[in-house]
Amino acid sequence: MGSGKPTIDDVAALAGVARVTVSRVLNGGPNVSDKVRQAVLAAVEKLQYKVNVQARSLAGGKSRVLGLIYSSDVETEPNSFYYSAIELGALRACSQVGFQLGTHAVNQHSLRKADLVMEIIRSRRYDGLILTPPFSDDAELLENIKAVRFPVVAVSAGRPAQSIVPSVSIDDEAAGYELTRHLLLLGHRRFAFIKGLEGHVSAEDRYLGFVRALEQAGIAPTSARVERGSFTFRSGIDIAARILNGSDRPTALICANDDMAVGALFTAHKMGLQLPRELSVVGFDDTPVSEIIWPPLTTIHQPLKTMGARAAEILFDTVSGEPPQPAEHGLANLVPHRLVIRESASSPSL
């Protein structure tokens, strides 16, 4: 001692207590008299002591690190805001309680993607894992994780996944319904819908809400042109071109996420359409681009940061041995979404 970083023993010596006692104070353990606690704290302060996290991890059997799994895909990278926001939220929650966050990009097209995730779990680096789409919708993977009793929470998972592991999401069906309703009230009758990649159940739920709104308004859902994109800006451009060049052009176009909506806007601009008079376009997510674009995008705001934070918090509880969520029910944490009305949707020109 003396030289190098101070250790717990230095603190114990200075405070005149045993090492265990220092440990107890540091970890908020019970049965420590106030006098001793003060002495220890004073010693910690004086020595500028910092626990050695690796030693703590080794001894305690917990790493105090959470992992975030997201899909790495060159294609979707512009879409990265979606993941960044979740990450930022989780990161903040983590640093508040002294946890770290490790992020892992996993290629979703890899045949071994589920194995890769299981390997991350086996590495024992993390106390818990936050899964984002499409991993959060992979029922088989989820079951595997559940089988080894590893703490996990699925973000934006669809209904089926929600019944397997704890999750945090918005009510995508309701959001899709509200968005469509808004368009309906604006006077639209001819719709087109660009879905996202298959397997993203929550995005699919948005379509379900769309269908419900249409039916309720007495419009046959089959009258709407429905295509499937890949969540990317480019796919939005291409599909919008197909849709808008066709006969009987719709007056309103709903996209399963903002990036595709922005792509659609791009195509519309290229075609020289007057926006939003000749075409209303709406998106989903409320990523930063939506208010930057011209015209600013009407969309559904998803509180991604909050969702990331909630996910981390659920994990903290699980890790520290809290009673697992009140069974079946509390398993799915719903956070509120919000319809954000901007200028990309208006009444159709008659």
Q: Which residues bind its own copies (CB under 8 A)?
A: 5, 48, 50, 52-55, 57-58, 63, 77-78, 80-81, 84, 87-88, 91-92, 95, 100-105, 122-125, 233, 259, 262-263, 265-266, 269, 288-289, 291-294
Label each residue of 71-135 as H, E or C.
EECHHHHHHHHHHHHHHHHHHHHHHHCCCEEEEEEEECCCCCHHHHHHHHHHCCCCCEEEECCCH
60, burial (CB in 10 Å: exposed 0-12, middle 13-18, buried 19+): exposed
Q: How far is the CB of 212 from its own copies (least distance, A)?
A: 31
| Per CB under 7 A, 79 contacts DNA | no
Choice between 18 and 334, CB closer to DNA:
18
| Per CB under 7 A, 97 contacts DNA | no
Torsion region of 124: left, alpha or beta (phi above 0 gives left; psi -120 to 50 gives alpha): left
> Mind giving me the DSSP string for 228-268?
E--SSHHHHHHHHHHHHHSSS--SEEEESSHHHHHHHHHHH
**For DNA, what does the binding mask look like between residues 15 and 54, x meaning CB under 7 A?**
-xxxxxxxxx-xx--xxxx-xx------------x-xx--
Q: How far is the CB of 91 from DNA (least distance, A)?
A: 22
Q: Of residues 1-20, which lie at the interface with DNA (CB under 7 A)?
A: 4-5, 7-9, 16-20
- In this chain, which of 41, 56, 139, 178 binds DNA, going by CB under 7 A? 56
Q: How far is the CB of 58 from its own copies (least distance, A)?
A: 5
Cα–Cα dist 43/48, whole Å:
8
Q: How far is the CB of 120 from its own copies (least distance, A)?
A: 10
What pairing do the DSSP bridges indicate for beta strands 299-301 and 338-340? antiparallel
Name the site residues for DNA (rule: CB under 7 A). 4-5, 7-9, 16-24, 26-27, 30-33, 35-36, 49, 51-52, 55-56, 58-61
